Chains A and B, each alone.
Chain A
């Protein structure tokens, strides 16, 4: 067990090292300069551009730039090229904004997908199953931004309440409870939007898993034993159908830094997705690279966790 974990960690560290090199190279080879340097602005004289390059270490050889970057990253000294703010602080602030959206989105996805998936598997081919299938494909194919606009216009016109931003603008002076509920309300639509795609996919997945499991011989044995249908479905079938979802659970962790650029932009949500997008547009390499590095870490961590979880969940895997 210990050997397995340490070997696993060792491999991941090596992977991380290569990821750091590749992502640095990709950024380095991409054309463009930080937006603090605008070559088409007459105010930027060649001298100034040159001084900025020096300031950002862009005049050094690439391996020095690589070392300086990761040294600054680990010592926490890294600063954004766009506004000279500490990169870690920027990411932390945005992370805390994105976190509730992520948690609620995941919660909605997972709590709703399972009942839907299980039900359509049990009533396979029935009216509900067909409707759910149709809706799933509908939500998978509808463009997110379009659906978001429709929802916003609908809510604003019908209910006449604000939906964008993290809270209602100008509501700072009311009591803490109302402010909390206000925050919750502002979470509802974006996280629901973020969840629709997830629900559509995950419920299909749950359905097919259940169907597969239901064909197994031990299920037939369970029926033959004369167990109640609920007993068969929820004790014998569901447990076995759940196994693959452990892997999926590990895979949602990287989503923490992903965020959704489209949803965050439409809802004026100051989250990580927008930070990353704006950093890319502004060639703010310290922010882009740091986010890149963190998400690489999270992917490795996620897969590591699902490996470990599998060990505990599936008695057939033993080391």
Chain B
């Protein structure tokens, strides 16, 4: 019977064919040990694929990881988080101050000039550092690109400056503008109409004026100037030298509204970027903004591949009228000036990079860098044990088990983020600081750290990343003291009812605590916090909300009582968007509605201060103020642990050609990848003394 035979034979043949394919597969042993080129390859696994490989367009961490190797900025951060020269060899920061002269005043421009010169000679406080004072004639200038909040742009916008005095300083003096104002006297600008010097479309006038004032428009304009001196002999991967033109182009590409760059906000304070010579570029800012220099860590784009001419050619090749940088193939095949050049990208499989032989600091030791996309953590772990990826980010519950495994070297550090409980300060009962303190005292944060994240977190007390100098270690955490919490609530006018819950008048002390669904850690904290609060007599309900509803409807529209959330911070201590009182509107980030005049003043001072010691001082003060006010319960900063194949070491070749091996040591801030360009994998594990 043919049918019967077929029914038996076909599946058998199929299974045999499939099974025999096993014989052709190299085992892990053959792949990792028997393959010498594997030692010159660094393979890493990632949960998600990169989205777009262009430093001015991407905003995801996977893309950033690749971009950091392919592109290079003017500067970056060294082991201690100080700025370190990269493409720029060095830089200088100066300042220019423009004092608008009141044409209606009795004092003539020459009189003002004389007063200032006198102060300069007398070396009164900041005046002592003035280099030059000059009188400028009246002048009409086009406004910088400016738009209203909903994106409308004026057709014509001109600033008609009266006489101005320009003061040049060799460094930034944030106090000088105040001192000049004092010198001129309050009377001086009394009959001066600052709004009058701007001519702009009538319908947008008030909004545009407000924006201009926020950005720079003032009777005394302070313009910091950064001059970068670029390193000679820096090349893009296609052999083209990197010059000041590329720096200027990168800035222009970010600011081009067509490109919708998520980095545009960082560069908005820039007034002009001037190319002085191929290796010097001068950047003038509209106002004092000290975080600005750090933004030049952004990867420099090659102008010759992305300028209008290049894009037109690409459009022609694709048979289209025009394309923007966003649509260019460059974002799938990037060319930068970093230590690794791009080779291949297979979507959702891997991205391959090869070392750049002409890298100005000498090529990295590894020949190849491979970024594999492995979306499942367990599969990633298996691949790590098998040796087909070189590093593995350990989950909190695995740390104890894997930390002492002799087959791996491990690194751990604190992340730049923290988890917190935030209150809606506009609402009852959170407008009362005693209630906020009582709620904070009712929670045993140490317990949360120990049981929810298995000890992989560190208690924090304020808004700055704990490993930066801005964090104030003197601020003491709120103690766990439920008894005192109950007393505080009673002081605040709440009375405990027979059922154990607090009441004020006929209103029960009750509210809802929410967080986003899909984050198990936050969910666990939610339950613990609810339980702690119920224990002292607060009737708390909880709710898990899907992320986008949570962000759009609840957080964005201020429709919550209390929430659990986390922030990822940068190194720069700029807290304007999260803590300044002007940022409490709908969809702005100060959604808890924190308003404190002292904090506002400090936040602005930190932005304007260029002196590091003073910045640290202001930050410590700000930390104190925020911790005192308790708008958040600052919970903890998560710790991360990474495992690395123990055969990976640092290899350095000294000038006389001697090769020396060194153990990988993490920096003070926990960054172990810092020396990545010097890493190499050895055939056998060797014992190295820990010199660090």
Whether A84 contacts B326 by the Cβ 8 Å rule is yes
* A192 cross-chain contacts in B, Cβ below 8 A: 18
- Name which of B24-32, B129-137, B174-182, B466-474 contacts chain A: B24-32
A162 with B18: CB separation less than 8 A = no
Inter-chain contact B149/A46, CB cutoff 8 Å: yes
Contacts of B150 in A (CB 8 A): 50
One of B28, B35, B266 near A43 (C-beta < 8 A): B266
Q: Let me know if B577 is at the binding interface, CB within 8 A.
A: yes
The answer to whether B372 and A169 touch across the interface, beta carbons within 8 angstroms, is: yes
Contact with B along A274-301 (1 / 0, CB 8 A): 1100100001000000000000000000
Also in contact, A42 and B577, with CB within 8 A (given A50-B151, A51-B257, A156-B382): yes
A141 contacts the other chain (Cβ, under 8 Å)?
Answer: no
A268 touching B374, Cβ below 8 Å: yes
Chain A residue nearest in CB terms to B45: A268
Most chain B CB within 10 A, of A32, A48, A170, A188, is at A170
User: What is the bound-complex CA distance between A79 and B331, given in angstroms?
Assistant: 14
**Which of A9-17, A129-137, A228-236 lies at the interface with chain B?**
A228-236
Over the window 254-289 of chain B, the binary record of Cβ atoms lying under 8 Å from chain A Cβ atoms (1 yes, 0 no) is 000100101111100000000000000000000000
A84-98 interface with B by 8 A CB criterion: 84-85, 90, 93
Contact yes or no, B378 A51, CB < 8 A: no
Q: Is the CB of A40 within 8 A of B551?
A: yes
Q: Interface stretch among A64-72, A176-184, A210-218, A244-252?
A: A176-184
Residue on A with the closest CB to B60? A35
The smallest beta-carbon distance between A292 and chain B, in angstroms, is: 19
**A47 at the binding interface (Cβ < 8 Å):** yes
Out of B22, B52, B379, B383, name the residue touching A266 (CB < 8 Å): B379
Shortest C-beta distance, B652 to chain A (Å), equals 27
Whole-angstrom distance between the Cβ of B470 and the nearest chain A Cβ: 16
Q: B183 in the interface, Cβ–Cβ < 8 Å?
A: no
Q: Which of A41, A45, A118, A234 makes the CB contact (< 8 A) with B264?
A: A45
**Contact-residue bracket for chain B:** 35 or more
Instruction: Say yes or no: A283-B548 contact (C-beta < 8 A), given A46-B587, A168-B31.
Output: yes
Which B residues lie within 8 Å of A268 (CB)?
A: 348-349, 372-376, 379
B556 / chain A contacts, CB cutoff of 8 Å: 39
Is B322 an interface residue, CB under 8 A from the partner?
A: no
The CA-CA distance from A79 to B328 in the complex, in Å, is 13
Name the distance in Å between A52's Cβ and chain B's nearest Cβ: 6
Select which of B21, B23, B147, B331 is within 8 A of A47 by beta carbon.
Answer: B147
Residues on A with C-beta less than 8 A from B25 are 161-162, 168, 181-182, 185
Instruction: Tell me what chain A mostly uses at the interface: helix, strand, loop, or mixed.
Output: helix
Min Cβ gap B635→A in Å is 18
A60 → B minimal CB distance (Å): 14
Tell me, in angstroms, the Cα distance from A235 to B1 when the chains sit together.
9
CB within 8 Å for A266 and B349 given contacts A39-B587, A161-B22, A168-B25: no
Query: Is there contact, CB below 8 Å, between B386 and A274?
Result: no
Residues 223-282 of A contacting B (Cβ, < 8 Å): 230-231, 233-235, 238, 265-268, 270, 274-275, 278
Q: Is B589 an interface residue (CB 8 A)?
A: yes
- Chain B residues 1-46 with CB under 8 Å of chain A are 1, 3-4, 7-8, 10-11, 14, 17-29, 31, 35, 38, 41, 43
> Which residues of the partner chain B approach A231 to less than 8 Å between Cβ atoms?
1
Contacts of A185 in B (CB 8 A): 21-22, 24-25
Partner of B262, one of A44, A46, A112: A44
B6 to chain A, nearest CB (A): 10
Contact A164 B151 (CB under 8 A): no
Q: Are B18 and A48 in contact (CB under 8 A)?
A: no
Residue on B nearest A234 in the bound complex, by CB: B3
Q: How far is the CB of A192 from chain B (nearest CB, A)?
A: 8
Q: In this assembly, does A149 line the interface, its C-beta being within 8 Å of a C-beta of chain B? A: yes
Q: Is the CB of A238 within 8 A of B59?
A: no
A221 touches B (CB below 8 Å) = no
Q: Cα distance A72–B555 when bound, in Å?
A: 34
The residues of B that contact A47 with a CB separation of less than 8 Å are 147, 149, 151
The distance from the CB of A195 to the nearest CB of chain B, in whole angstroms, is 11
From A44, A93, A107, A234, give the contact of B14 (CB < 8 A).
Answer: A107
Contacts of A46 in B (CB 8 A): 149, 587-588
Contact A182 B28 (CB under 8 A): no
Q: Which of B523-565 contact A (CB under 8 A)?
A: 546-549, 551-553, 555-556
Nearest residue (CB) in B for A114 is B7
Q: From residue 562 to 600 of chain B, which have CB atoms closer than 8 A to chain A?
A: 577-578, 587-589
**Contacts A/B (CB < 8 Å), 18 sampled:** A32-B548, A33-B548, A40-B589, A41-B262, A43-B263, A50-B151, A82-B51, A111-B10, A152-B382, A169-B388, A170-B388, A181-B25, A182-B25, A184-B18, A187-B18, A230-B1, A233-B4, A275-B348
Q: Lowest 10 CB-CB distances: which A-B pairs, in order?
A: A32-B548, A270-B348, A181-B24, A185-B21, A184-B21, A111-B11, A234-B3, A230-B1, A42-B577, A160-B27
Interface residues of A (CB under 8 A from B): 30-33, 35-36, 38-52, 54-55, 79, 82-85, 90, 93, 107-108, 111-112, 114-115, 118, 149, 152-153, 156, 159-162, 164-166, 168-171, 177-178, 181-182, 184-185, 187-188, 192, 230-231, 233-235, 238, 265-268, 270, 274-275, 278, 283
